[in-house]
Amino acid sequence: MELSAFLTSVGINSAIAVLLFLLYSVLRKQPGNLNVYFGPRLALASERQNYPPSLLRYLPSPSWVVKAWETTEDDILALGGMDALVFVRIIVFSIRIFCIAAVICMFLVLPVNYYGKEMIHHDISSETLEIFTIANVKESSEWLWTHCFALYVITCSACGLLYFEHKSISRTRLAYITGSPPNPSHFTVLVRAVPWSAEQSYSESVKEFFMKYYASSYLSHHMVHRSSRVQRLMNDAERICRVFKSVSAEQKSKPCLLPCFCGAPNSFDILSNEPDNVRGNIGLDVSNLATEKENAVAFVCFKTRYAAVVAAEILHSENPMLWVTEMAPEPNDVLWSNLSIPYRQLWIRKIAVLVASIAFMFVFLIPVTFVQSLTQLEQLSHAFPFLKGMFKKKFISQVVTGYLPSVILILFLYAAPPTMMVFSTIEGSVAHSGRKKSACIKVLYFTIWNVFFVNVLSGSVIGQLTKLSSVKDVPKHLAEAIPNQVGFFMTYVLTSGWASLSVEIMQPFFLLRNILKKFICRIKNNPPNGTLSFPYQTEVPRLLLFGFLGFICSVMAPLILPFLLIYFVLAYLVYKNQIINVYKKSYESGGQYWPIAHKTIIASLVLTQIIALGIFGIKKSPVASGFTIPLIVGTLLFNEYCRQRFFPSFQKIAAQVPWKFLPFYFCMLVCVCVPSLMGYFFTGSYANGSTR
């Protein structure tokens, strides 16, 4: 790809991004859009009145940028929870490391690349992008130490930054957990696979078991009920009733349209908010119907957090597939529909989902192959001769090679997260946060595989997949392929990165829905969109993918770094704005995204080093190769150290801190609010039974 084609892409993207950001700064000031851009805050306070006078409303202003910039981490933690904080820390980490990388690579590596071969340089705009990559350095050049040195600087800074981030996040996480107000989930254990007995009901079994082994700390338990057919019909009736109500704009408090279309709503909310007349009208006592069908699942409440943690971690039965315990998710976080999945199915579901995900990844190769063919115009015009004339026009050719491939890829990539969410639901996670985390991991693998590996390893994808089978040659293949693909990655950062930020901040879907509702359905007093929770399963993989591309390209093609830095700075502002204004924290995983980020960053570093090793091999620089190997070993050792030192505290809660005051504190709590807390769970499990 020529520099001019690339600059076309930069121009188009910058223009679109600036336009959309300006548009956003206007749209957000319109009173009609408050429920799109300030959903959760609307639900809290009546900011509806504070919009500026009419003229100023239509002028773009940078106020949101200033506000996002000024938001502190404490605000983020308070508003978005630990997950949001981790998300912001990932961005901050990326900005820091790519600042360092940009400085060292732009001033040291880029000149070496550009003047790497003795040649006459033309006008800079007609140079191909490859001139700026390591491919332009001549064989056994004496200047390859600069690349090796840059690799050392980047790796060491990354490891150092990671270490301090780890330390600070662990500390914050612990403080957050200990400082957070007592939550019923802290005292509750989810028991699955209660063994069936002919003599007694599940409920009696649970009671007997916990009375026996946890006599001093057992408080109470609540079974989860399966909905009978009648109840399912009733739920449907209720849902339809809600739709009618919302359409006739009688209902005041909660949104309804989305749940109707998207399947299972947060039905706990529904029942508890619903007046009893629905049930009354039908004239059936649902509670009796429901209690008849107990699931082998129960929430068991303990008197102390410590007892709950102990009960969650101990193996209870000789048969490890009975009496399986884990800490209960927060009430908001429970994925009721998955509670009725028999525990013994879980392992086979996980395997099935793994296989399905891998199959999906390979089916996805078809659009990627098409995208790939677009960047190689000669091949395409060879295959379709009638296009030849069109490609001769310079502008069209530039748009096609510089812009279209990424757009097509992005459009196809939008299909992945929902699919992965479905997979994660099937997998059987009992918590929304767990499902999101699982989907996040799947999407991460998926995007890195599709955006990076498939693009790098292939012109004619499937035919060249055989290359992968020869393990030893992978670094060499990668080293050969990456400099050729730098143009694609750079445009990908521009199109997917910058554009996705614009889309994120504009929220076109909800904006459109809002407009539709207002002007076509004529619904006034549109309730705020308060149930929207942060889409970690798409955004975390995106951030990590750009970090991955950044590391891989840093030494080989440093021209990508400034664009990446712009992306991360924009992301910092946009996501902070979204966290404080748009998304509501309804559940969270407690910072579980950080270990994912850590692993991805380490994997990126190691892959970068392996590819560098391949390149140094191709360029015949044994010294640089020799120095790279200890770097790989060092990075892996650092990873192992972090795994030992930091990871356990993300999986378990340490006994040392939280129990200091809580059992004691809890005595008070039990007296005052346990009935209501228990009721919380009880109503939830009861109302749902609901396993559609």
Stretch that binds a second copy, among 119-127, 305-313, 444-452, 610-618 (CB under 8 A): 305-313
The H or E element containing residue 297 is strand 294-302
Q: What DSSP state is assigned to residue 521?
A: S
Where are any strands of DSSP class E within 194-241?
Answer: 218-225
Q: Does 310 bind a second copy (CB under 8 A)?
A: yes
Total chain residues near a second copy (CB under 8 A): 41
We find the least distance from the C-beta atom of residue 637 to a second copy, in angstroms, to be: 7
Token couple for 553: 């390209």
Cβ of residue 137: shortest distance to a second copy, in angstroms?
28
By CB under 8 A, residue 351 contacts a second copy? yes
Judge whether 543 and 571 are in contact, CB under 8 Å: yes
Q: Are strands 294-302 and 188-192 parallel, antiparallel or unpaired?
A: antiparallel
Stretch that binds a second copy, among 96-104, 129-137, 311-319, 574-582 (CB under 8 A): 311-319
User: Are 38 and 581 contacting, i.e. CB atoms less than 8 angstroms apart?
Assistant: yes
> Under the criterion CB under 8 A, does residue 469 sit at the interface with a second copy?
yes
* Per-residue binder mask for a second copy (CB under 8 A), 29-48, x = binder: --------------------
- The single residue among 119, 258, 637, 668 that binds a second copy, judged by CB under 8 A, is 637
Q: Please say whether the beta carbons of 393 and 479 come within 8 A.
A: no
CA distance 95 to 547: 10
Nearer Cβ to a second copy (526/649): 649
- Region for residue 81 given its phi and psi (left: phi exceeds 0; alpha: psi -120 to 50; beta: otherwise): left
Furthest C-alpha separation in the chain: 91
Q: Counting contacts by CB under 8 A, is residue 645 touching a second copy?
A: yes
Q: Where are the alpha helices (DSSP H) in 28-134?
A: 34-37, 39-44, 63-70, 73-104, 110-114
**Angstrom distance (rounded) from CA 342 to CA 193:** 7
Contact between 463 and a second copy (CB under 8 A)? no
Q: How far is the CB of 449 from a second copy (least distance, A)?
A: 18
Q: Which of 655, 667, 668, 672 binds a second copy (CB under 8 A)?
A: 655
- Contact pattern from residue 172 through residue 211 relative to a second copy, giving x for each residue in contact according to CB under 8 A and a dash for the rest: --x-------------------------------------
Whichever of 49 and 469 has its CB closer to a second copy, that residue is 469
Q: Note whether 342 binds a second copy by CB under 8 A.
A: no
Kindly indicate which of the ranges 579-587, 610-618, 636-644, 680-688 contains the residues binding a second copy, using the contact rule CB under 8 A.
636-644
Residue 240 lies near a second copy (rule: CB under 8 A): no
**Contact flag: residue 659 with a second copy (CB under 8 A):** yes
Task: Pick the binder of a second copy from 646, 666, 681, 686 (CB under 8 A).
Answer: 646
Task: Give SS3 for 199.
Answer: coil
8 Å CB contact between 267 and 690: yes
Contact 81, 593 (CB under 8 A): no
Three-state secondary structure call for residue 330: coil
225 residue type, one letter: H
Specify the stretch interacting with a second copy by CB under 8 A; choose among 77-85, 148-156, 317-325, 499-507: 317-325
Cα(480)–Cα(500) distance, rounded to whole angstroms? 30
Q: Which residues bind a second copy (CB under 8 A)?
A: 170-171, 174, 213, 309-310, 313-321, 323, 347-348, 351, 466, 469-473, 637, 640-641, 644-649, 652-657, 659
